[in-house]
Amino acid sequence: MEQISEATRNILGLQLPTDPRWVDLAAISIEAILTDHAWCEQKAATACISLIQRYTRKVKLVEDLAPIVTEEWGHFRLVLQEIRKRAFVLGNQRRDEYVHKLIAFQQKGGEEEGRLLDQLLTMALMEARSCERLKRVSEGLGDEEHVNC
């Protein structure tokens, strides 16, 4: 299996790359990929809002998450724009098994700080993998306009 470059590993913190064959699956339906990505951006914004609501007394956390909500919602709007540009339709949200398996590893009891840390680490891992996959898709499909995440 192909190794992730040192530069990519340092930026994203990923130890193993997405299987290159994943691009082949993505090519089957770029509309499905864009729909999935739109919903991922929406979930990222919503997850940050949920953390803000749950941890209102953690002033620094709230201040750090607030601009991320704006950024992720802006990404959602950009993906919607791309969907419209390609004359696609935003499809239904689907259950993401990858995300549910990651969440299953999160701490369920114990101290609040540990649970928060697990949530933040899981969110960071999902963001890094999403960025890596979008980069791989854009490179694999020759869609240079969308190489940067």
Predicted local distance difference test score (pLDDT) of residue 51: 96
Q: What gap in Å lies between CA 136 and CA 20, rounded to an integer? A: 8
Predicted local distance difference test score (pLDDT) of residue 148: 46
Confidence of residue 30 (pLDDT cuts 50, 70, 90): confident
Entry pTM: 0.78
pLDDT beyond 90 at 135:
no
pLDDT beyond 70 at 55:
yes
How many CB atoms are closer than 10 A to CB 51? Answer: 21
Best-predicted range by mean pLDDT (31-45, 52-66, 111-125): 52-66
- CATH code of the domain made up of 18-133: 1.20.1260.10
Q: What gap in Å lies between CA 39 and CA 33, rounded to an integer? A: 10
Q: Are 136 and 22 in contact (CB under 8 A)?
A: yes
In which residue are the tokens 């991922």 written? 40
* Percentage above 70 pLDDT, the chain: 82
Predicted local distance difference test score (pLDDT) of residue 86: 93
